[in-house]
Amino acid sequence: MTVDDEAAPRTAGEGASSTGKEPGRRRHTAAYWAVGVGAVAALLLVLLATRPSGEDREAESTLIGQPAPAITGTTMTGEQFDLADLEGRWVVVNFFASWCVPCRVEHPELVAFSEAHSATGDASVLSVAFDDTPEAVAAFFEENGGDWPVVTEDLGNVVLDYGVLGVPESFLVSPDGEIVERIIGGVTREGLDQLIAEAEGS
């Protein structure tokens, strides 16, 4: 037997196709990525759902002092709504979701605020559904009360226009249609009345 006829010794795995293991590796990598993305999404949802309600927290916004971006759409009762129709009164534009725990906490405060101003008609509440369905929103109001416009559909870019990052988040709009304040977190009736009094006294 010549040297050429002898098979050179192989190390373990030498000569075997390495591509046989690559699909498995890719599947494992994809699975890890999917788990990671899912965990981040779940964490974000938890953070939004448990956003502190506490006291009103006024926040900076480039919209303050500017005309309020238009809000038009379909309400949960199927009517067409336009924010411009509320000009002449104070408006609390409240971004909320039925799945948001702090939104449920603040809701009685909005009901109290709305009822306190319904007789004089000097202030109103407008709710804008954030990542929610008309059915869930309707069930929320059926359970918790509230008699004001609730826009649930055909909102366009209103969330982007207002720069809303989570819920609850509210904007106080003056009778002449100008944004006076941005509030991150849950509102209170007392806090809203105080903001209005301060704005009227300035």
Question: Six-digit token pair at 63?
Answer: 């919209």
- C-alpha 156/C-alpha 22 separation (Å) is 45
pTM score, whole prediction:
0.72
Q: Which CATH architecture has domain 57-201?
A: 3-Layer(aba) Sandwich (3.40)
Hey, where are the domains in the chain? 20-49, 57-201
CA dihedral 193, 195, 201, 202 (to 10 degrees): -170
User: Per mean pLDDT, which of 25-34, 44-53, 133-142 is the most reliable?
Assistant: 133-142
Mean pLDDT of 183-199: 97
The arithmetic mean of pLDDT across residues 116-133, rounded, is 96
**What is the token pair recorded at 187?**
């509102």
Write down the mean pLDDT value for the chain.
Answer: 82
- Asked whether residue 92 carries a pLDDT value surpassing 70, the answer given is yes
> Using an 8 Å Cβ cutoff, are 89 and 175 in contact?
yes
Tell me the mean pLDDT in the region 106-116. Answer: 98
Q: How much is the pLDDT for 61?
A: 78
Residue 180 confidence (pLDDT) above 80: yes
